[in-house]
């Protein structure tokens, strides 16, 4: 979170900023309503976006072998620098070797 805030992004965290346990569908709706991009490791968001065609304002799904925060930061930094303007409304899958966009 601090990583993104230092770059000028307005961020929230489900764990920190919301008082109750939320289901993925509720998280997707909150993010859409607040016009936020979801950054997650949870592939269930793909199910909501593709199978159920639920609206969203962007999802970044990390599918990494190594979940180290330094790796995530480096990949997120690369993603923001190269493709920042494409992120809203995109579903992005990030691995150690690829960044795939689906609209």
| 12-32: average pLDDT | 90
pLDDT digits over 26-75, tens only? 999 999 999 999 999 999 999 999 889 999 999 999 999 988 889 999 99
Q: Which of the four pLDDT bands, split at 50, 70 and 90, describes residue 77? A: very high
Residue 89 confidence (pLDDT): 85
Output the pLDDT for position 99. 93
Tell me which residue of 43, 65, 57 sits closest to 87, measured CA to CA: 57
Q: What does pTM read for this prediction?
A: 0.91
Q: How many CB atoms lie within 10 A of CB 45?
A: 22
Counted domains in the chain: 1
Q: Report the length, in residues, of the chain.
A: 103
Q: Which domain holds residue 88?
A: 2-102
Give Cβ neighbours of residue 86 (< 8 Å, ≥ 6 apart).
101
C-alpha distances in Å from residue 66, one per residue of 41, 50, 71, 80, 100: 12, 26, 8, 20, 18
């Amino acid at each position: 979170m601090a990583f993104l805030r230092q770059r000028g992004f307005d961020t929230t965290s489900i764990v920190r900023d919301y008082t109750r346990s939320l289901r993925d569908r509720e998280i997707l709706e909150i993010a859409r309503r607040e016009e936020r991009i979801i950054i997650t490791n949870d592939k269930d968001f793909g199910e909501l976006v593709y199978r159920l065609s639920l609206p969203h304002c962007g999802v970044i799904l990390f599918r990494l072998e190594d979940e180290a925060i330094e790796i995530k930061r480096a990949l997120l930094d690369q993603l923001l620098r190269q493709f920042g303007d494409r992120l809203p409304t995109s579903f992005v899958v990030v691995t150690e070797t690829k960044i795939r966009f689906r609209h």
